[in-house]
Structure 1
Amino acid sequence: MTALSAVAVASEGRRHDLFLDVARTITRFYPRIDEVQLVPLEPGAETIGTATLDAVTAEGIRAAAKASDGRITLLPHPQRPDHYMMVKRSPNTDEARYGLMLAIDAGKLIGDGGPFWTRPSTAVRLSLPDGHNLLQRAALPDAIRFSRPLSSVSQPLLLETGMDIGLSDMFPPVQTGLTFVTLTLAYLAGLAALRQRARTRAAEQQARLSALDSRLTHASRVNALGEMASGMAHELTQPLTAILAQAQAGRRLLTQRNHAALAAVLDDTVSQARRASGILERFRNWSQPHATPVSAFDLRRALGNVEALLEQDALSRRIQLEFHLPETPVSVVGDPVEIEQVAFNLVRNAMEALDGHAGETPRVTVTLKEEDASVVFDVADNGPGIPETLRPRLFTPFVTTRAGGTGLGLALSQRLVERAGGEIALVASDDGATFRVTLPRARARQEETA
């Protein structure tokens, strides 16, 4: 939402083509987000969005944005069952001019957990913090029931699940005595409860991984695009304003036939145009990210999160996903989310490189090992490899080998690794592609900064 707000403010109300392009890109990357709207706070002004917006919903968004204290507001969608709206004012100040809304499909947010969750005896409910039910497939039983709020600052939704256990679930066909029936009943009841608890934990884990996937993807695509658009609009304002003023002055001097003064005005206009060109060149080469606090963490845990995130995707693609991690902790100093994002980008790129590749069984291998003063992890695949002509520009922003790719993943990964004091490189290989990330060990990094 921060990126969309930056794009909306940068357009200054003149055109919203870029806003709609970014909005459609978001809905394509995140199917659970199926509507984006930009509602002016001034009644009667034109609403910009990916779908037609009715007056009642627009007024609700406008009222929520006006009452906002800067935080995201969650509201049920008045026209679409099983949907809720995330509303934020734009810009996020008291001088806000728009209400920005994302519509979320609660059914797609939970996802398909398998045939177990479609059984008549199993119930799932997802509610807003104020208690409004977004999704409830059946009434929740009182016997075996679990509820827990999702650990998301912007979307603290309440997930509740339950299951009715009948006699057919607890009693198999038996023709034994009363003692055996009693023992069997106790055993089956306890086993059903344990299985239900395990499945509930699996549903909670799926929701956590979905939130983590959204955060990583947002950091690698939408956030970068919003930051670049906002910075470009800010820096281009001065030279463009100067060019406009000089052009107006030149037109007056031309009318007055003051050719001597006109030459100086044209020179200044050329200078400001070159300045604007330099700004665009700098953004094309990607601005350096700001430093963030770092700490020591176990790299195995970050790689384990990546494996959990991409395991189901690998199975659906019929790809062997292998992680070879040491038995003992491997400590490095850095931002765990950023290093996790780097590993996620590399593994996902390797999986996408194997799509449609004929030959031996597709395989992606992640290997973590420790050296004297550094930690190394390799991400290797047995795909077609990187074209020779592309290798010198592999880490340049907007360079990609995939149709529809942004070309920002490897460039962002390089900057995140360098921020942690490490290096990332493409290793020469005869089979597929291998990317190597080298990071300083926690003790070595702390001695350097001491």
Structure 2
Amino acid sequence: MRTGPSFFYRPSVAILLGVLLVVLTVVGLASWRYHTHIQVLEKESVLLQRLASQRAGQHDAHLTALAAVVQTTADQRGHELFQDVAHSILNFYPSIDAIELVTQPDAAELPTGVGAVDPEIQAWIQEQAWTGNEHMKLLVHPTHPGHYLLIKRNPNLDALGYALMLDIDAARLLGNGEALWSKPDVTLRLSLPDGTPFLGAATDAPTTLHFSKALSSTTQPLLLETGLQLKWDDLLPLWPTLGMALLVGVAYAGVCLAWRQRRRVNAAVEQARISGLESRLAHASRVNALGEMASGLTHELTQPLTAILAQSQAGRRLLSKGDTERLAKSLDETVIQAQRASAILEHFRHWSRPQRLPTTSFDLRDALHNVQSLLRQEAQNQQVHIILNVPATPLLVKADAIEMEQVLFNLLRNAMDALQQITGDRLITITASEQGNQVRVDVADNGPGVPAQLRGELFTPFVTGKEGGTGLGLALSQRLVERVGGELLLQETAGKGAVFSILLASQPATSEPSE
């Protein structure tokens, strides 16, 4: 009897499940490391976006301060104060690469500022500063990759004929010293609001960008995007993965061994319990059957013993008269009745043997006639009419004859007991026939039938519908029939009564008895 999941007892299935468990563990480890890397990336990306937004806000403050300086120094030669302030800004804010005071394209005055402004784009900067009515322009630097230009105009500066320009290094705007952003599998991309990238080429970005958010700046709403390309080494580092797989495999093997050991112990205990029950069932049922047999045996022996007594007394009278001819007939009848009594006792002796006899091929009709003879007198006393329908040809089966007689005896006694509950004709019909490769015996009665609540458990030990019954007869009978490969069934009946059927494998007429 198994007490746990059956897969623990099949080595191939257990190994397959162990491999599957290790694979799931490896997949789980890879998934956990993947999500861990993504969480770290998103956390650092949020911090970077906040830092870049703060620095972008500082650029707005610088432009406002420089505009005020230009307005107060517009009439002073050389704009010395403007340059002093611009130098201070460059010294303290490394993300700003150059500051320039842009003049109108047709102005006689040249642009002035600090930082490395490429002379080749001066005319382009002037054109962009004075094209359109926008007071703030955000442009990609045409000659410095990774730089963008922030150009500001306002009514006061327009009146003076000036605009302000900041050349901003986007890499320094984002740079915060974190080692994460220096890894080759991590990509940073910064784009203009219209989607034009200028830091981190589009081809360098991973297929999936895990973070995308614009800077919190009204004048510089640059789109910050970050991504991570993970390799197998990142998801499944060799030694931690091997260690985890080994740990799970050892734990699973331990569980399997413990469960198998527990199963062996439980199976041994259960087998011992079942063996004890079977022994008690067989003993109790045989004792019960012997008790019932004793009643039938008493009635059956009464007739031949009475006949022997009567013939003996008649023989004494005939002997005293010297009537030897009639005396011989009386003695012959006495011998016949004595032989009949001896046959009955012989059947009883075999029935009561505790050991199981070797199975042999025998004619089941003989067992039916023997049981009918044993119960004939009792059936007459109870006014039960037994009809036996058997074919003219032998019904050969391979089983223990005494055990089959015990099964038939139990079925007939149960039928006779059931008929005691009815009035009128009491009829038991025994029909034996050979159907294909099976011998079938139906024991039918016209009694009240088996109660519906007992049908499902009728062959369970100690379940009985008879008052004072032990519930062992049918359980043992089914066990004896199944032991020789047969079946004992309760047939459903549309009307009253019950029909029990015995199905046994038929034997060829030429088969030899064998153990």
TM-score range, shorter chain: 0.3 to 0.5
Larger Rg over CA atoms = 2
Q: TM-score, normalised by structure 2?
A: 0.39
Q: TM-score, normalised by structure 1?
A: 0.44
Specify which structure has the higher proportion of helix. 2
